[in-house]
């Protein structure tokens, strides 16, 4: 793996674990196994490297969601695959945690890929739900945009509940509740 890749991956991991303030250049360098000169050769500083790491995390979440939501099956089946996929629930969402980081939110450049990720996820889920309505799989009265926002909120809120409880159970309950709500709108 190249030095820039090691730096980006290490920064992704530290941002997820510690947040922006807790991710020091020294910690990044240690985790990546590179010296200070290597870091500053490839990136102008911590903000530049953090932006690359946030963008990478965002791209990974969007690609994973797109893969799950583009799979075979009905709209309900694809949404269910997306909701039920294996996650490191007690660590939270690597992008969602950044939305709760005051230093990331306060920086227009750093928060942009976070906001774009959630906008993409809402739109992608809405398109699957809309497709389900058009194919007669879901109630035509279902609002795909509002329901998609609910799906994303359930996931992010589920992470928060699970972390607070120190248990994956609240997350799993939230996911199963969302699946049941959408299933209740499935066409007979």
Q: Indicate the SS3 state at residue 138.
A: strand
Read off the pLDDT of residues 12-51 as tens digits, 9 standing for 90 and up. Answer: 999 999 999 999 999 999 999 998 888 889 999 999 999 9
**Three-class DSSP category at 186:** strand
Q: What is the pLDDT of residues 109-132, one digit of tens each?
A: 999 999 999 999 999 999 999 999
Buried b (16+ CB within 10 A) or exposed e, 59-91: eebbeebeebbeeeebbbebbbebbeeebebee
Distance between CA 45 and CA 23 in Å, rounded?
Answer: 12
Beta bridge partners of 138: 186
In this predicted structure, what is the pLDDT of residue 38? 87
Q: What pLDDT is stored for residue 187 in this prediction?
A: 80
The per-residue pLDDT for 36 is 86
Q: State mean pLDDT over 75-91.
A: 97
Enumerate the domain spans of the chain.
Answer: 54-183
Q: Which residues pair with 186 in a beta bridge?
A: 138
Instruction: Check pLDDT > 90 for residue 188.
Output: no
Report the pLDDT averaged over residues 48-55. 97
Q: 111 with 101: CB under 8 angstroms?
A: no
> What would the CATH number be for the domain defined by 54-183?
1.10.357.10
Region 53-79 average pLDDT:
97
């Amino acid at each position: 793996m190249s030095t820039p890749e090691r730096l980006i991956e290490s920064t992704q991991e530290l941002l997820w674990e510690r947040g922006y303030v807790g991710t020091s250049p020294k910690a990044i360098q240690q985790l990546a196994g590179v010296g200070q000169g290597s870091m500053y050769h490839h990136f102008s500083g911590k903000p530049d490297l953090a932006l690359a790491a946030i963008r990478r995390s965002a791209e990974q979440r969007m690609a994973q969601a797109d893969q799950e939501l583009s799979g075979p099956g009905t709209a309900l089946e694809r949404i269910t695959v997306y909701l039920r996929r294996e996650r490191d629930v007690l660590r939270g969402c690597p992008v969602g945690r950044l939305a709760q980081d005051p230093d990331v939110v306060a920086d227009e450049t750093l928060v942009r890929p976070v906001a774009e990720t959630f906008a993409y996820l809402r739109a992608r889920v809405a398109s699957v739900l809309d497709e389900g309505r058009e194919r007669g799989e879901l109630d035509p009265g279902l609002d795909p945009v509002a329901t998609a926002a609910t799906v994303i909120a359930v996931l992010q809120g589920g992470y928060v509940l699970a972390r607070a409880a120190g248990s994956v159970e609240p997350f799993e309950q939230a996911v199963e509740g969302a699946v049941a709500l959408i299933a209740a709108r499935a066409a007979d």
